[in-house]
Amino acid sequence: MTDQELYEKAKLYGQNALLWRQKFTGLLPEVNRRRLHERHGFGSIFEFAYKLAGLSEQQVKNALNLEASFTNKPTLKALLENGQVSINKLVRVQSVATQENESFWANQAQVLSKKALETLVRDERIVSQPKVLPGQDLQFSASVQSRLHELQAKGIDLDQLLTEFLDQREGKIAQEKEAIAENLPVATSRQVPARTRRVVRAENGTKCSIPTCQRSATEIHHTQTFALSRRHDPHYLAPLCKAHHQIAHAINLKVLEKRREAVG
């Protein structure tokens, strides 16, 4: 057996072990309800789960709590009972799932990684919170502050000055995007050209373009599906962090599936 064959076999067994562990965990609420563990000589449901599957006490508690929480959410409850999704993922959606949106969260729990799911749940919490106006916490260097004070002392309206500067900046970026988009050729690669990357960065900065996210942008997302458009139009590019990029592709995939169903 080669090293690669050994690795592939170990990976396969590991994946199967995780799947069966999930399925075992899904049985625990019913085992507990029937007191099955007591009839087979186990002192508690925790001892039952530990000796048969190596589950920790917290993992068992999570499974029992989720089952109670999902009483009126049959789609999520089915994911738990059938072992289709890990306890760790279900715990994360528990706080934001309602009877109205459970189908959405059930789908996300199946298609997103744990990290991306955490990000989406965090976004949902932020969006659902009451809006708070940002404080006056803009930071300028000492030299810029000095120059602004000098201008203000001369009677120059700083609001008007900064507004004009921002309008000029936005206009310059818009012109550059139009110049790039004009007669844009069909792309032969997913790699975004350097000129286009520069204007996207100039417009959006270095952070993920999702308003609720402060992570660094590591990837450029085509908001028009690249496989269909075959173009790097800067009007339809968004810098995203890895987690939001995965979320964006998961949503695009869902939209495409619905379109195929509609077509027949």
Residue 12 confidence (pLDDT): 87
What is d(CA 203, CA 170) in angstroms, rounded to the nearest whole number?
A: 8
Per-residue pLDDT of the chain (264 residues; tens, 9 = 90+): 898 988 898 988 888 888 899 999 999 999 999 999 999 999 999 999 999 999 999 999 999 999 999 999 999 999 999 989 999 999 999 989 999 999 999 999 998 988 899 999 988 888 777 665 554 567 889 999 999 999 999 899 999 999 999 999 999 999 999 999 988 888 988 899 999 999 999 999 999 988 888 899 999 999 888 888 889 999 999 999 999 999 888 876 554 454 445 444
Burial of 23 (0-12, 13-18, 19+ CB in 10 A): middle
Residue 131 confidence (pLDDT): 60
What are the φ/ψ torsions at residue 100 (nearest 5 degrees)?
A: -75, -35
What are the φ/ψ torsions at residue 240 (nearest 5 degrees)?
A: -135, 155
Q: What is the distance, to the nearest Å, from the Cα of residue 65 to the centroid of all Cα atoms in its chain?
A: 25
What is d(CA 253, CA 264) in angstroms, rounded to the nearest whole number?
A: 17
Q: Is the separation of the CB atoms in 57 and 87 below 8 Å?
A: no
CA distances from 240 to 10, 177, 209, 229 (A): 34, 19, 6, 20
* Pair of tokens at residue 43: 């002192």
What is d(CA 200, CA 235) in angstroms, rounded to the nearest whole number?
A: 9
What pTM was computed for the model?
0.68
Q: Is the separation of the CB atoms in 85 and 77 below 8 Å?
A: no
